[in-house]
């Protein structure tokens, strides 16, 4: 699949896809004319990368965790489990803080409308 098609299907810019390749997060082959060609799972991988970025993970952390996320559960080591648990806990804290902020905004909105 060509880079434009992956970009279209995943909702990510072509530039972002090139960046993901530079960071080692995404891999492609080249056609005879030098165009990037991606495998069938590329779109799903890009969506996962986007979600991990949105959750606050750095490209370095994503690079470390992607093989763990995509590996069969039997291949998890205690170190992998600990790393995934650490990221999950950080995300849970972030969600909690966002919910508190949302509740505060909701209170202000409700108070302003009721005034």
pLDDT tens for each residue of 30-70: 999 999 999 999 999 999 999 999 999 999 999 988 888 88
pLDDT tens for each residue of 10-33: 999 999 999 999 999 999 999 999
Q: Which CATH class is domain 1-59?
A: mainly alpha
Burial class (CB in 10 A: 0-12, 13-18, 19+), 95: exposed
User: Which two structure tokens, joined as six digits, stand for 47?
Assistant: 């969506």
Residue 16 CB partners (closer than 8 Å, separation 6+): 7
Position 22 scores a pLDDT of 95
Position 115 scores a pLDDT of 62
pTM for the structure as a whole: 0.79
């Amino acid at each position: 699949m060509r880079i434009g098609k992956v970009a279209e299907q995943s909702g990510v810019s072509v530039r972002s896809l090139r960046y993901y390749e530079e960071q080692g997060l995404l891999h492609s082959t080249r056609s005879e004319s030098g165009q990037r060609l991606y495998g069938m799972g590329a779109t799903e991988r890009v969506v996962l990368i986007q979600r991990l970025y949105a959750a606050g993970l750095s490209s370095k952390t994503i690079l470390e965790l992607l093989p763990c996320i995509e590996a069969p559960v039997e291949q998890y080591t205690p170190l992998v489990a600990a790393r995934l648990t650490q990221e999950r806990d950080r995300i849970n804290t972030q969600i909690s803080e966002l919910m508190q902020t949302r509740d505060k905004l909701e209170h202000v909105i409700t108070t302003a409308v009721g005034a």
